[in-house]
Structure 1
Amino acid sequence: MPATTFLDSPQGRKLAYHRTEGQGPWVVFLGGLKSDMEGTKATHLEAWAKARGQAFLRFDYSGHGESSGLFEEGAIGDWHEDTLAVVEALTDGPIIPVGSSMGGWQALLLARAKPERIKGVVTVAAAPDFTEDGYWANFSPIQKARLRADGYVELPSDYMEPYRVSKRMILDGRDHLVLRDPLPLPFPVRCLQGTADSAVSTATALRLLDHATCDDMRLTLVKDADHRFSDGPCLGMIEAAIEDILHPAG
């Protein structure tokens, strides 16, 4: 396996990445919260891209994987800055962000910041605005008091070890919400969502579909698929969604 390469971001972070040269547009994988670029979806799509000669980029946000920083100190805006840094430094021309979970939110932020670069967007269990609508809205009064007093709360997860949610993550998330203001997406968008996902509900996927302004946006619900969305059929659906943007039918 090729050695990991690092990019020094404008904010002084050291961001780990793997970059595969090929024909454009660049497919850029945006991972989920506390995930890294060695996950099944990222590495599978890299192998898929290499086999077809497609330009591909996967990377770790700061505080994730091999990149510098501590997860507990990061926030949505930091990871948006990381995404912008790697896209601007390591790709050129049109891009197709493929965002998983929190990466789906990052893909929407990227599309809002750089619409002229976007060929299309693929999301997998996208979790836009989850710091506000998932965390803060469901915190108990005790958790909210602890967040204010201690600066963090610890949350369990069905998919990873318990992790800390910081007060800064909540406050910073409010500066990057995408479901409160108009969200124009003037390019094809393909959203995939499992019905057995215990981390992101189908209601979130439907809310995004209803909220965005897009002439070519499709949501595919996959019965019994969970949040990982990483078995063979699900991975094939991600490939097909990218293909649909690369080579539209008709």
Structure 2
Amino acid sequence: MSGETAGRMDRGDGVALAWRRLEGNGPTIVFLPGFRSDMEGSKAVHLAAFAAARGQAMLRLDYSGHGASDGRFEDGTIGVWTADALHVVDQLTEGPLLLVGSSMGGWIGLNLALARPDRVVGFVGIAAAPDFTETLIWATMDRHERTRLMAEGTIFLASAYGDPVPITLALIEDGRKHLRLAGPIPLLCPVRLLHGQKDSEVPWRSALTLADRLDSPDTQILLIKDGDHRLSCESDLGLLEDVVARALKV
């Protein structure tokens, strides 16, 4: 994309994290991908084109074990991927941030917003999935799967998006250190939550739970009746663009 620079950044242990950045006006849009997704997904690319057209600063990145970044996916956890995102954001941006998190990226985005409350001026969640390692993975495993995971450390679960997904005990146990929905979430910036009501991965009612937990009085939920988990069709992307455009003016 014209005007966009790309690179790889050592996070300090030899693992390089891939990123793409647009210089421009603030706030900087930071796109945070989902579980096993990356910065070349349709929503990230669409927002990058949107930012370029209006001269808006934007940063997108790949967590370790994802996309163009180094590392094994199986070595990642919510804590590791949050630290990856913080490292890139801290090194490559200045000033106010508008975080846009898709699915797991919504959980990562909440972690970032709580870690940098003085910089985050807005948060947009797209089928945001905080606590999914507990509520959507562990809670849906049968006794046999849980026993195998405890004994072997890794099991593979079927995925609607391709090959079976490796799920590690470390992912589950680390996720429990970052659970957000058990109590109030002290985030005060404006929040917009987009969720498709035909989402078969993350139930749309989870957006209601998240909104209820957030301290921000300026929280809005937008439900897309025929929207799926990805929210990547033309009309969904247009809605996302409109939401982000309005959020930039807050």
TM-score, normalisation: structure 2? 0.96
Within a 5 Å distance, the mapping from 1:5-84 to structure 2 comes to 5-84=7-86
Structure 2 portions without partners, runs of 5+: none
Q: Which residue of 2 aligns with 1:156?
A: 158
Q: Which residue of 1 aligns with 2:170?
A: 168
Q: Report the Cα distance in structure 2 between the residues aligned to 1:90 and 1:233, rounded to whole angstroms.
A: 31
Letter of the 1:152 counterpart: T
Q: Report the Cα distance in structure 1 between the residues aligned to 2:175 and 2:37, rounded to whole angstroms.
A: 18
Question: Deviation of residue 154 (structure 1)?
Answer: 1.0
Letter of the 1:195 counterpart: Q
Q: Which residue of 2 aligns with 1:130?
A: 132
Contact 2:157/2:165 (<8 A) preserved: yes
SS at match of 1:28: strand
Q: Which residue of 1 aligns with 2:206?
A: 204
Q: Which residue of 1 aligns with 2:99?
A: 97
Q: Report the Cα distance in structure 1 between the residues aligned to 2:163 and 2:43, rounded to whole angstroms.
A: 20
Contact 1:10/1:85 (<8 A) preserved: no
Question: Deviation of residue 3 (structure 1)?
Answer: 6.8
Single out whichever of 231-240 and 188-197 deviates more from structure 2: 231-240
Letter of the 2:170 counterpart: R
Question: Deviation of residue 161 (structure 1)?
Answer: 2.4
SS at match of 1:51: helix
TM-score, normalisation: structure 1? 0.96
The alignment-based identity, stated in percent, is 49
Contact 1:99/1:126 (<8 A) preserved: yes
Q: Which residue of 2 aligns with 1:214?
A: 216
Letter of the 1:130 counterpart: F
Q: Deviations over 1:90-135 (max 9, x none)?
A: 0000000100000000111111111111010000000000001111
Question: Deviation of residue 69 (structure 1)?
Answer: 0.3
What is the aligned counterpart of 2:185 among 183, 186, 189?
183
RMSD over aligned Cα, in angstroms? Answer: 1.2
Q: Report the Cα distance in structure 2 between the residues aligned to 1:4 and 1:197, rounded to whole angstroms.
A: 32
Single out whichever of 173-182 and 110-119 deviates more from structure 2: 173-182
Question: Deviation of residue 4 (structure 1)?
Answer: 3.7
SS at match of 2:71: coil
Structure 1 stretches of 4+ moved >3 Å = 1-4
Structure 1 portions without partners, runs of 5+: none
Letter of the 2:197 counterpart: T
Q: Report the Cα distance in structure 2 between the residues aligned to 1:11 and 1:88, rounded to whole angstroms.
A: 17
Question: Deviation of residue 245 (structure 1)?
Answer: 1.5
